[in-house]
Structure 1
Amino acid sequence: MPPINAESLYQTLLAQIRQAYGAGLPALAGIHSGGAWLAERLARDLGAPAFGVVNVALHRDDYAKKGLHSQASPTQLPFAVEGASILLVDDVLYTGRTIRAAVNELYDYGRPGRIDLAVLVDRGGRELPIGARFVGQAIELDGSQTLVLEQDPAGQFSFRLEAGHA
């Protein structure tokens, strides 16, 4: 598979979001950690006043097996969720289980009026009926491969492909 240019995908995603919302930007919430990096940069590039970070650890269906991640920070939402239009941001959409957990976490803070989803990569393999409104690129990966978003000190994104993870 050719390398995936995360920076190019980010620009595609940014353009889609700009075109769809114009000046009526919803509240931004990124899923820890890659989605939070993306939400932070989207907030800056779109001129949003703030962005939130959603920690899905307590709503994961594998919580009993994995427990809390040592580097996980609590959900931080600098906006009222009740009735809000929210753009939920993540790096890779795969089974849909992380997105389900993020929506559950948002509902712990109130009932949003609308939630849209933006992802850099949709890799297929859905286990739940969840789709993204905004997608940088759809690709197919073997189920044993994992796509990992990285951010360098200058804030530039790149992807690393890892093998052997199911």
Structure 2
Amino acid sequence: MTHAQNQVARAVLEGPDIHRALTRIAHEILERTRGASDVVLLGIPTRGATLAHRLAERVAQFEGVKVPVGSIDITMYRDDLRLGPARPLGKTDVPAGGIDGKTVVLVDDVLFSGRTVRAALDALGDIGRPKAVQLATLVDRGHRELPIRADYVGKNLPTAKSEKVKVLLSEIDGRDAVELLKNEPEGAGK
């Protein structure tokens, strides 16, 4: 017997929390890369690209360094392409100086299985040869299927596999928040 499900959203981060997390990540990038002079930020669309721009703004604000920002489309590198309907291609935007010999920080909103990051690493190899690759994510929810970890994490958020994490950003969604979505059987909580 199948029971109807209601999705219940609970905010785990609000705008100020996201602001603080990105500020901390920007400082950590500056510390680890000794000033970010050879850093390129590449966001994984859609929200990762927005977060990469926000990080670049903070680095410029703190250090006066203009970090090149771009985006990297992973659509054709996904290992689940054959499992679903066709997906539209996103935009890969490599900064003018390229990525060769640079420290590339891949930026994504949520780190889950690691498959998106694996696809981004494959895509990265087709556009250049960075000196090093690091990963920044707003939320790490666990449940890795591949041996991938983030270098910079805004929030570690333990979740059940059945739960979903939804990142909302003002540039796209009209507000900043991170929500945890749970399925509840119909009639629960009454």
| Contact 1:27–1:86 (CA under 8 A) maintained in structure 2 | yes
Number of matched residues?
163
- 1:93 pairs, out of 111, 124, 135, with 111
Q: CA deviation at 1:98?
A: 0.3
SS in structure 2 at match of 1:64: helix
Whole-angstrom distance in 2 between the partners of 1:11 and 1:95: 25
Of the two structures, which has the highest relative contact order with CA contacts closer than 8 Å and spacing of 6 or more?
A: 2
Q: Note closer, same or farther for the CA distance 1:58–1:140 as it changes in structure 2 (3 Å cut).
A: same
What are the within-5 Å matches in structure 2 for residues 147-162 of structure 1?
A: 147-153=165-171, 157-162=176-181
Return the alpha-carbon distance in structure 1 between the equivalents of residues 54 and 175 of structure 2.
10
> Alpha carbons of 1:159 and 1:122: their partners in 2 closer, same or farther (altered >3 Å)?
same
- Contact kept, 8 Å, 2:11 with 2:177, in 1: the verdict is no
Deviations 1:61-82 (A, max 9, x none): 0112235434x42211113222
**DSSP-derived class of the 1:149 partner:** strand
- 1:23 corresponds in structure 2 to 35
2:75 to 38, 52, 57: 57
Contact 1:58/1:68, CA 8 A, preserved across alignment: no
Other structure's SS at 1:163 match? strand
Structure 2, unpaired ranges of 5+: 1-9, 61-65, 184-190
* Residues 139 and 153 in structure 2, CA contact (< 8 A), matched pair in contact too: yes
CA distance in 1, matches of 2:78, 2:54: 26
SS in structure 2 at match of 1:29 = strand
Is 1:32 aligned to 2:45, yes or no?
yes
Task: Find out whether 1:13 has 2:25 as its counterpart.
Answer: yes
How large is the RMSD of aligned CA atoms in angstroms?
Answer: 2.2
TM-score (norm 2): 0.76
Aligned partner (choices 125, 135, 150) of residue 143 of structure 2: 125
Contact 1:91 1:121 in 2 (8 A): yes
2:92 corresponding residue in structure 1: 75
Which stretch shows the higher mean deviation, 146-155 or 76-85?
146-155
Closer/same/farther in 2, CA of residues 134 and 49 from structure 1, 3 Å limit: closer
User: Separation in 1 of the partners of 2:85 and 2:29?
Assistant: 34
TM-score calculated relative to the size of structure 1:
0.86
